Amino acid sequence: MELTDIKSLSIDELKEQISLMGDKAFRAKQIYDWLHVKLVDDFDEMTNLSKELKEQLKNTFQIVTVNPIEVQTSKLDGTQKYLFQLQDGNVIESVLMKYKHGNSVCISSQVGCKMGCRFCASTIGGLERNLTTSEMLSQIYVIQRMAGERVSNVVVMGTGEPMDNYDNFIRFVKMLSDENGLNISQRNITVSTCGLVPRMRQLAEEKLQITLALSLHATTDEKRKALMPIANKYSLEEVLDACNYYFEQTGRRITFEYSLVGGVNDTKEDAEELIKLVKHVNCHVNLIPVNPIKERDYVQSNKKVIDNFKNKLEKCQINVTIRREMGRDIDGACGQLRKSYQDRNAERKL
Ligand code: SAH
């Protein structure tokens, strides 16, 4: 019999399962606390449960976790990159960034990605599979345990397209912000999408308080199509409409991510077009100097071009920041650590 993934069950579902097993519902609360607050990965560590119950649990459930196999720490800013192995042998990566206002973790939502953005390392091998809710939560739990410090912010901006793993993602947000678990405020959770319009609209209707970040990266359909295949499916107009709808439904300000690629989308005209597109949206623009990957020949815009781009937006009263490059000395950009691990392994096999 296949064992149920207990860490993906909400507290109400766990209560139901435990009462079906003939036990009291308060036991479910104790177990949930072990898994989601005390962050243990072994039934034997649940010291306030009877031996019989622990045996019963082991026969019904498994505790899914992620296993750290490599941790890189930046000498520049203390950013840590974690490479985790999953139970089926796949590897994923997550990042811990330490800011003055707290610790932020960037997690992956899929093994690989099928969206095909041209500048992104995560998509090169395609999509392997979705991550379960427990695998998404465990990235945060293991990092919090290893770092010995509370995680206060979570961004779903690692490998994968969260809107392509919608149900597991929504469950993840609800459990992460549950008062019986880590209780991370939804306002401190951000999800980034390349723009799957129907899912963005569905997300708006969930009435969560999370921040939606849209990977915009270009100001015309033509340019966006050249960088992001998903733009062939949904036009800029449709994507921006979905952003407005998200704001209407949730009152949450939208973040637009704009990766600056040298000579591709960083001209004066691009800045002007961007201003036209976003000036009526309650938003924040995050400029990301593209992180060049060796498989593509995109280059970063030079510092002056980046500053000019930012100043143009600021002059029009648009909230804009340049994303600080955290952990520049380690494999910092999306998917690069996983990719370099895969390349190293492939070499070993030759
Ligand atoms: N699938 C989601 C989350 C992915 S990554 C999405 O597309 O939004 C988070 C952000 O980093 C996205 O805006 C993505 O386009 C951007 N990104 C990916 N690779 C990058 C690179 N090499 N340089 C700069 N930005 C990159």
Q: Is the CB of 188 under 6 A from ligand 1?
A: no
What does the alpha-carbon distance between residue 330 and residue 20 come to, in Å, rounded to a whole number? 49
Confidence of residue 128 (pLDDT cuts 50, 70, 90): very high
Q: Is the CB of 94 under 6 A from ligand 1?
A: no
Q: Is pLDDT at 333 greater than 80 in this prediction?
A: no
pLDDT confidence of residue 246? 98
Its CATH class, for the domain covering 4-62, is: mainly alpha
pLDDT confidence of residue 215? 98
Provide the whole-model pTM: 0.96
Report how far Cα 90 is from the mean position of its chain's Cα atoms. Answer: 17
pLDDT confidence of residue 331? 66
- Residue 229 Cα to ligand 1 middle (Å): 13
pLDDT confidence of residue 347? 72
Nearest Cα neighbor of 279 from 333, 240, 329 is 240
Percent with pLDDT over 70 in the chain: 98
Residue 79: both structure tokens together: 């950013």
- Residue 91 Cα to ligand 1 middle (Å): 19
Q: Average pLDDT for residues 326-330, to the nearest whole number?
A: 74
Q: Is the CB of 291 under 6 A from ligand 1?
A: yes
Tell which atom from ligand 1 comes closest to the C-alpha of 115.
1
- With 0-12 / 13-18 / 19 or more C-beta atoms within 10 angstroms meaning exposed / middle / buried, residue 145 is middle
Please check whether residue 53 is in contact with residue 31, taking contact to mean a CB–CB distance below 8 angstroms: no
Please check whether residue 232 is in contact with residue 225, taking contact to mean a CB–CB distance below 8 angstroms: yes
Percent with pLDDT over 90 in the chain: 87
Amino acid identity of residue 110, one-letter, is: Q
* Spans of all domains in the chain: 4-62, 67-349
Q: Average pLDDT for residues 100-128, to the nearest whole number?
A: 95
Confidence of residue 296 (pLDDT cuts 50, 70, 90): confident
Please check whether residue 105 is in contact with residue 153, taking contact to mean a CB–CB distance below 8 angstroms: yes
Listed range (79-93, 178-192, 275-289, 294-308) with the worst mean pLDDT:
294-308
Q: Is 160 annotated among the ligand-binding residues? A: yes
Q: Average pLDDT for residues 46-59, to the nearest whole number?
A: 97
Q: Is 181 annotated among the ligand-binding residues? A: no
* H helical segments located in the chain: 11-20, 25-36, 51-60, 133-147, 166-176, 197-205, 221-227, 236-250, 268-278, 303-315, 336-349
Tell which atom from ligand 1 comes closest to the C-alpha of 160.
1
pLDDT confidence of residue 332? 56
Q: Is pLDDT at 33 greater than 80 in this prediction?
A: yes
What is the CATH code for 67-349? 3.20.20.70
Positive or negative, the CA dihedral 293, 307, 242, 157 is positive
pLDDT confidence of residue 24? 92
Please check whether residue 210 is in contact with residue 189, taking contact to mean a CB–CB distance below 8 angstroms: yes
Question: Closest residue (by CA) to atom 5 of ligand 1?
Answer: 157
Nearest Cα neighbor of 160 from 123, 197, 186 is 123
What does the alpha-carbon distance between residue 185 and residue 208 come to, in Å, rounded to a whole number? 10
Q: How far is CA 169 from CA 33, 61, 239, in A?
A: 21, 21, 20
Q: Is pLDDT at 349 greater than 70 in this prediction?
A: no
Residue 48: both structure tokens together: 């306030």
State the average pLDDT for the chain. 94
Q: What are phi and psi of 210, to 5 degrees?
A: -80, 160
Helix, strand, coil share (%) of the chain residues, nearest 5? 40, 20, 35
CA dihedral 323, 326, 328, 331 (to 10 degrees): -110
Q: Is 347 annotated among the ligand-binding residues? A: no
